[in-house]
């Protein structure tokens, strides 16, 4: 963090690029093989091991990870226009992904205290066209996966975790990402594990992973875990089976969503120091969560329960109804003092203009709408030291005292 005229700067995110990542990048550039290859495969294997699942398939963004995880359903009985249940509050990519995959998003309100989907409202949203539930672990706080799994099993639905912000999260002794049939992660710059841009899907099922490898490459017939042509290790014995070039057979509607070697090299570097990043972020989150109690009831945040570990993506701040000031006033004060903020997303169906065609109206999702109007989040990343944490608390304290 840098200083400007004696004022600390508290940035929202950071990017860890290790020396080992730089060496791998240089090697890839020198050999001229920068498309998907050995580093992508190494990153996938190590990420799968980290979550404790069988397979991981790297793609070009967290949104693509959501889209492709959903598109897998077509190979297992789903049809275009079928429905997927999602929380009303999330980064807009969640809703976009459902539509981009060819499904209809069916929104369910959230719990204000957890920011996650209200499981008590899921069953009312299920219809004969429902094919999956996509819970979002917002801000890295785990959704109630045991309850969601029970509902899914009862109605024969797939569960696809949107774990974009939930690296390192654990729910009731089991890693987030290992609960659902598939889980999609973002690897964007502000996340715990980053490849600058990028995403990755994990699953315990090899048949799902095979379809994912096809989907990310235009729906190709060939879907080996590692392509000898991409690795540059020789000719493919399977390529001209029956005299037809298998690389130009396309089994399904696909996407162009591959990760490249340079991104994977940065991701491997992040995995090398994953525990240090996670521990530092968790320490920062826990410190702020404890200290923030002094600002209640005007300002609130989420709480970590005894049966979970939050994946420390960011620190949410929720203004109470009787706070006595607006979010705009609060944000303006923080930003003027060098504290970078982000709005805590919106109710996708009622506060995001692009979703008007679904004909929801304000008031349909009151908790999501409240958060969309009255909440922000700030970074808890590994480059923030105690002086930055205390500075943020001091600035909040100063603001609140000015509003008494």
Q: What is the CATH number of the domain that holds 157?
A: 3.40.640.10
The boundaries of the domain holding residue 312 are 3-12+275-401
Domain tally, the chain: 2
Alpha-carbon distance values, 36 to 32, 213, 251 (Å): 12, 12, 21
Quote the pLDDT of residue 233: 63
Residues 334 and 249 in one domain: no
Examine the fold and report which residue of 219, 252, 272 is the final residue of a domain before the chain moves on: 272
Residues 324 and 208 in one domain: no
% pLDDT > 90, the chain: 88
Quote the pLDDT of residue 246: 73
Q: Is the peptide bond before 297 cis (omega within 30 degrees of 0)?
A: yes
Examine the fold and report which residue of 237, 272, 307 is the final residue of a domain before the chain moves on: 272
> Cβ distance 107 to 352 under 8 Å?
no
Residues 186 and 335 in one domain: no
CA gap 192, 383 in Å, rounded: 12
Stated length of the chain: 404
Residues 338 and 382 in one domain: yes
**Per-position b or e across 245-283, b if 16+ CB within 10 A of its CB:** eebeeeeeebbebbbbbbbbbbbbbbbbbbeebbebbbb
Quote the pLDDT of residue 237: 67
Residues 240 and 283 in one domain: no
Residues 287 and 307 in one domain: yes
Residues 179 and 316 in one domain: no
Per-residue pLDDT band at 8 (split at 50, 70, 90): confident
Residue 6, pLDDT > 70, answer no
Residues 243 and 316 in one domain: no
Residue 383, pLDDT > 50, answer yes
Residues 303 and 195 in one domain: no
Task: Mark residue 243 as left, alpha or beta (left: phi above 0; alpha: psi -120 to 50; beta: remaining).
Answer: left
CA 326 to chain centre: 28
Residues 282 and 181 in one domain: no
Residues 228 and 327 in one domain: no
Angle at which helix 274-291 crosses helix 386-401, to 10 degrees, equals 30
Question: pLDDT tens, 111-140?
Answer: 999 999 999 999 999 999 999 999 999 999
Examine the fold and report which residue of 256, 272, 288 is the final residue of a domain before the chain moves on: 272
CATH code (residue 346): 3.90.1150.10
Question: pLDDT tens, 212-252?
Answer: 999 999 998 776 667 655 666 667 667 677 777 777 788 99
Residues ≥6 apart with Cβ < 8 Å to 374: 318, 319, 320, 321, 323, 327
Residues 28 and 68 in one domain: yes
CA gap 302, 315 in Å, rounded: 8
3-state secondary structure of 162: strand
CA-based end-to-end distance of the chain: 31
C-beta atoms surrounding 115 within 10 Å: 27
């Amino acid at each position: 963090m840098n200083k400007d005229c004696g004022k600390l700067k508290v940035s929202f995110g950071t990017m860890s690029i290790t020396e080992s990542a730089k060496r791998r990048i240089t090697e890839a550039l020198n050999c001229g093989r920068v498309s998907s290859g050995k580093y992508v495969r190494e990153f996938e294997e190590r990420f799968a091991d980290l979550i404790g699942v069988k397979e991981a398939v790297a793609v070009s963004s967290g949104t693509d990870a959501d889209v492709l995880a959903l598109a897998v359903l077509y190979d297992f009985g789903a049809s275009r226009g079928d429905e997927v249940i999602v929380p009303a509050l999330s980064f807009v990519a969640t809703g976009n992904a459902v539509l981009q995959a060819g499904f209809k998003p069916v929104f369910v309100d959230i719990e204000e205290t957890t920011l996650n989907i209200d499981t008590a409202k899921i069953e009312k949203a299920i219809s004969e066209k429902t094919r999956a539930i996509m819970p979002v672990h917002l801000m890295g706080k785990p959704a109630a996966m045991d309850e969601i799994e029970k509902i899914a099993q009862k109605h024969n639905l797939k569960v696809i975790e949107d774990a974009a912000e939930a690296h390192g999260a654990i729910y009731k002794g089991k890693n987030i990402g290992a609960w659902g049939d598939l889980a999609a992660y973002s690897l964007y710059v502000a996340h715990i594990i980053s490849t600058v841009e990028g995403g990755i899907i994990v699953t315990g099922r090899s048949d799902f992973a095979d379809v994912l490898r096809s989907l990310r490459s235009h729906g190709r017939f060939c879907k080996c875990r590692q392509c000898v042509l991409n690795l540059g290790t020789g000719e493919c014995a399977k390529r001209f089976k029956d005299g037809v070039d298998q690389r130009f057979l396309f089994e399904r509607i696909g996407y162009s969503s591959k990760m490249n070697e340079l991104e994977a090299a940065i991701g491997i570097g992040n995995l090398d120091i994953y525990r240090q990043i996670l521990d530092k972020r968790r320490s920062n989150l826990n410190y702020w969560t404890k200290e923030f109690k002094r600002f209640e009831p005007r300002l609130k945040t989420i709480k970590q329960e005894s049966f979970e570990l939050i994946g420390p993506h960011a620190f949410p701040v929720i203004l109470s109804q009787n706070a006595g000031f607006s979010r705009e006033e609060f944000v303006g004060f923080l930003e003027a003092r060098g504290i970078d903020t982000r709005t805590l997303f919106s109710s996708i169906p009622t506060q995001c203009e692009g979703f008007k065609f679904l004909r929801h109206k304000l008031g349909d999702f009151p908790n999501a709408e409240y958060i969309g109007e009255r909440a922000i989040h700030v970074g808890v990343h590994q480059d923030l030291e105690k002086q930055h944490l205390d500075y943020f608390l001091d600035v909040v304290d100063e603001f609140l005292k000015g509003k008494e």
